[in-house]
């Protein structure tokens, strides 16, 4: 298995020769492979971590990630949505309405736990400026904001995320390649004892299966080092003894927020079913959804949009028959596992609050472990 990595350069899983699943990724191997989906980050890194500060003094290791669900005006033409909560020790504000109405009508924001209120207020400010009828002639909105706890690395009580950071992330959202690792809302996040953060991946189904694209983006912040699995290989158990000299987060199992986008013509209950399969991808990466963790998933389709105002009382939607949905389930599982792995592969070492050190997963070791196990698998199971 050939690697295209230059020494010292962080690369994604596929550049290490790691292949998750059987379907091929889209052009960018990102959630932005789904037409109209855009992603933007505001990353906040500053301050010396040499000693523990008072709240507000830093160090700052946090940020905001914004996902725009569809091209055009999502407020006037909402995207069909669904979701699933595997374990609820976390928050994705607005999910209750998403599940009830089956629609999303605002940008989606990801940040740290104590910045949810700031991001929600900033999203309202942004949306009201863009659509002054909100709360006047039109209904109010409930922003969708997901969170994970980055307090092991970030001065989380310091209130370092401000409204302008949220606005910048929304305004900076773009299609194409997506920055991963220590960026945006994932800046201070951990995954299985290694530096984690934002990761994304996609799958494009063959034309015979519909030719649809499924993209997943995660803010990954879960697990202990020995839990990590890569394509079924117990990588965490193999690597853990090499890091026993390092302190790691043990007081919290952490959480993960996952977002799924697709151009398949799915309605809300189908998107909720796809969201459940994302939980399988999280489990394949090593999570057992601990008591104090949050595994929260939201999915949306860009194919159907629901107008806020319509001349007719009946609106027609395109709907994929359930008998043809299985490949989308498989694609969601594969893209989720690879998105988590991309977050790990692209993240870099970080020192945070109280001098806590989050090591990046060693890519050469990861590739060697993966290659060795795959060669053994091929010996025992020749094609």
Based on the structure, what is the number of domains in the chain? 1
Q: Residue 295 catalytic?
A: yes
List 181's β-bridge partners, or say none. Answer: 198
Q: Is the pLDDT of residue 373 over 50?
A: yes
Q: Which of 36-50, 151-165, 188-202 has the lowest mean pLDDT?
A: 36-50
Active-site choice (295, 334, 337, 338): 295
CATH number of the domain that 123 lies in?
3.60.70.12
Alpha-carbon span 85 to 95, nearest angstrom: 10
Q: Which domain holds residue 62?
A: 13-308+322-347+357-380
Question: Which pLDDT score is estimated for 315?
Answer: 83
Active-site choice (201, 220, 287, 293): 293
Is residue 315 in a domain?
no
For residues 170-181, give the mean pLDDT. 98
Is residue 252 in a domain?
yes
Q: Is the pLDDT of residue 145 over 50?
A: yes
List 351's β-bridge partners, or say none. Answer: 357
Cα–Cα distances (Å) from 6 to 94, 195, 371, in that order, read 43, 20, 18
Token look-up 């989308």 returns 328
Token look-up 């909402």 returns 78
Active-site choice (201, 220, 255, 301): 255
pTM of the model: 0.96
Residue-wise pLDDT tens digits, 188-235: 999 999 999 999 999 999 999 999 999 999 999 999 999 999 999 999
For residues 294-300, give the mean pLDDT. 98
Question: Which pLDDT score is estimated for 1?
Answer: 44
Question: Which pLDDT score is estimated for 78?
Answer: 94
Q: Is the pLDDT of residue 250 over 50?
A: yes
Q: Is the pLDDT of residue 355 over 70?
A: yes
Over pLDDT 90: what percentage of the chain? 85
How many other β-carbons are positioned within 10 Å of the β-carbon of residue 9?
Answer: 9
**Residue 51 pLDDT grade (very low, low, confident, very high; cuts 50, 70, 90):** low
Q: Any residues with CB less than 8 A from the CB of 369 and at least 6 apart, and which?
A: 230, 233, 235, 238, 239
Is residue 3 in a domain?
no
Is residue 316 in a domain?
no
Q: Residue 255 catalytic?
A: yes
**Residue 267 pLDDT grade (very low, low, confident, very high; cuts 50, 70, 90):** very high
For residues 248-272, give the mean pLDDT. 95
Average pLDDT for the chain: 94
Is residue 314 in a domain?
no
Is residue 8 in a domain?
no
Is residue 166 in a domain?
yes
Token look-up 């694209």 returns 213
For residues 302-331, give the mean pLDDT. 92
Is residue 88 in a domain?
yes
């Amino acid at each position: 298995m050939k690697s295209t990595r230059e020494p010292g350069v962080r690369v994604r899983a596929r550049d290490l020769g790691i292949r998750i699943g059987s379907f091929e990724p889209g052009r960018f191997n990102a959630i932005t492979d789904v037409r109209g989906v855009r992603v933007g980050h505001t990353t906040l890194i500053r301050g010396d971590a040499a000693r523990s500060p008072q709240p507000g003094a830093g160090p700052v290791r946090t940020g905001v990630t914004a996902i725009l669900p569809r091209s055009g005006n999502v407020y006037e033409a909402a995207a069909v949505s669904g979701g699933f909560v595997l374990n609820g020790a976390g928050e994705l504000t607005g999910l209750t309405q998403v599940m009830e109405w089956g629609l999303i009508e605002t940008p989606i924001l990801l940040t740290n736990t104590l910045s949810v209120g700031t991001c929600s207020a900033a999203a309202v400010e942004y949306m009201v400026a863009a659509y002054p009828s909100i709360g006047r002639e039109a209904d109010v909105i409930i922003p969708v904001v997901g969170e994970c706890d980055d307090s092991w690395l970030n001065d989380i009580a310091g209130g370092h995320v401000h409204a302008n950071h949220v606005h910048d992330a929304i305004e900076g959202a773009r299609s194409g390649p997506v920055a991963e690792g220590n960026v945006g809302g994932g800046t201070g996040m951990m995954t299985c004892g290694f530096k984690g953060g934002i990761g994304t991946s996609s799958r494009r189904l063959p034309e015979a299966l519909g030719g649809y694209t499924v993209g997943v983006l995660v803010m990954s912040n879960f697990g202990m080092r020995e839990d990590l699995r890569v394509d079924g290989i117990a990588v965490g158990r193999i690597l853990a003894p090499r890091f026993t000299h390092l302190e790691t987060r043990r007081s919290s199992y952490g959480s993960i927020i996952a977002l799924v986008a697709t151009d398949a013509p799915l309605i809300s209950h189908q998107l909720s079913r796809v969201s459940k399969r994302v939980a399988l991808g999280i489990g394949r990466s090593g999570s057992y959804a601990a008591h104090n963790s949050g595994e929260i998933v939201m999915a949306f389709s860009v194919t159907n949009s629901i107008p806020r105002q319509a001349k007719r009382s009946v609106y027609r939607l395109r709907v994929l028959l359930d008998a043809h949905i299985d490949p989308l389930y498989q694609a969601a599982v594969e893209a989720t596992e690879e998105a988590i792995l991309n977050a790990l592969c692209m993240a870099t070492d970080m020192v945070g609050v109280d001098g806590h050190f989050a090591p990046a997963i060693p890519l050469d070791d990861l590739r060697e472990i993966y290659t060795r196990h795959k060669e053994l698998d091929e010996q025992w199971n020749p094609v």
